[in-house]
Amino acid sequence: MFSFCTDPATLPDWQWFACYLTSGTHLAFYWSFGVVLLLIALAAPSALLFGFGGALAARSHVAPVRVLGKTYIAMVRGVPDIIFFLFVPIAIDQGLEYLMHHIRCPDWTQPVRRGAEFAVCAQAKVPLSNAPAWVHDIYSFGLALVAFALVFGAFAANTLYGAMRTVPRAQLETAEAYGMSRRQVVRRILLPQMWIYALPGLSNLWMILIKATPLLFLLGIRDIVYWARELGGSKTSIYAYPHGDWRLWYFLAVLVFYLLLTWVSERVFERLMRRLSRGQATAAGERLRRAAA
């Protein structure tokens, strides 16, 4: 990074640290913070989408759709979410390969699952074994993203379903009295009003989503936990920058990162709550009205 970094062993302390903290692996470490933020940024809207679908399905008048929605909401109850994070990616992976196997190798006679083996033909591997490394990286990140969206979607569905039921019934009846169709009632009355009731639950979900991101490590992705362990472990003098066991300091840095993230989110949600409470028939809305008057 810097011109004086050619021979780190001879450097004074501050230059040594300047070089150490900008080495190639450290840049990968900093980049992995971006991966975590990217996961949050992608998982939150997709979970919301899944949640929305689940909540609407659970309210449906068509019985099979309703059962499907309610099953989805109930799915993650009572089961630790970490089980889903371990299960979903490998299940999807095997499912895809099984599907590809039947499409690409129809004349393959042996069963796919033989004893302790899961053997599909070479053309059915997802991604193909000769694919470049970045394809594998993106694929495993994508699987992790689906797992996050699926699990958090179920929780968001639960929250949104509850919020839709809290919107005062009289409001919906008034809309019906005006001759709106079911669809119009949902779109014009229910959806705009439910957010204020959903926000406390959603903000809680957001916090939990942030705190679930280190689980990426379990899915074999090179995230901040992976790099903190790698970089912090003691390095002998065959390395350019030998040092003792510094993992404690690396994990402290990761901890501070998460504390900052949750602290900032808390502030943002406080403001958002105030903003959305304006003009609502809730205690917070009433307080705002009084303060203004």
Sites of contact with other proteins (CB under 8 A): 76-83, 86-87, 90-91, 94, 113, 115-118, 151-152, 155, 158, 204-205, 208-215, 217-218, 225, 228-229, 232, 245, 247-248, 251-252, 254-255, 258-259, 262-263
| Pick 76 or 149: Cβ nearer other proteins | 76
Shortest CB 91 distance to other proteins, Å: 5
Q: Which of 83/138 has CB closer to other proteins? A: 83
Whether residue 262 contacts residue 211, with contact meaning beta carbons closer than 8 Å, is answered with yes
State the minimum distance, in angstroms, from the CB of residue 43 to other proteins: 12
**Nearest residue (CB) to other proteins, 222 versus 247:** 247
To the nearest whole angstrom, how small is the minimum distance from the Cβ of residue 158 to other proteins?
A: 7
Least distance CB 16 / other proteins (angstroms) = 22
In the DSSP assignment, the letter for residue 117 is: E
Q: How many residues does the chain have?
A: 293
Give the 3-state secondary structure of 229-285: HHHHCCECCCCCCCECCCHHHHHHHHHHHHHHHHHHHHHHHHHHHHHHHCCCCCHHH
Nearer to other proteins by Cβ, of 175 and 228: the residue is 228
Q: How far is the CB of 17 from other proteins (least distance, A)?
A: 20
How far is it, in rounded angstroms, from Cα 78 to Cα 261?
Answer: 28
How many other CB atoms sit within 10 Å of the CB of residue 265?
Answer: 16
Q: Which residue shows structure tokens 């809290």? A: 166
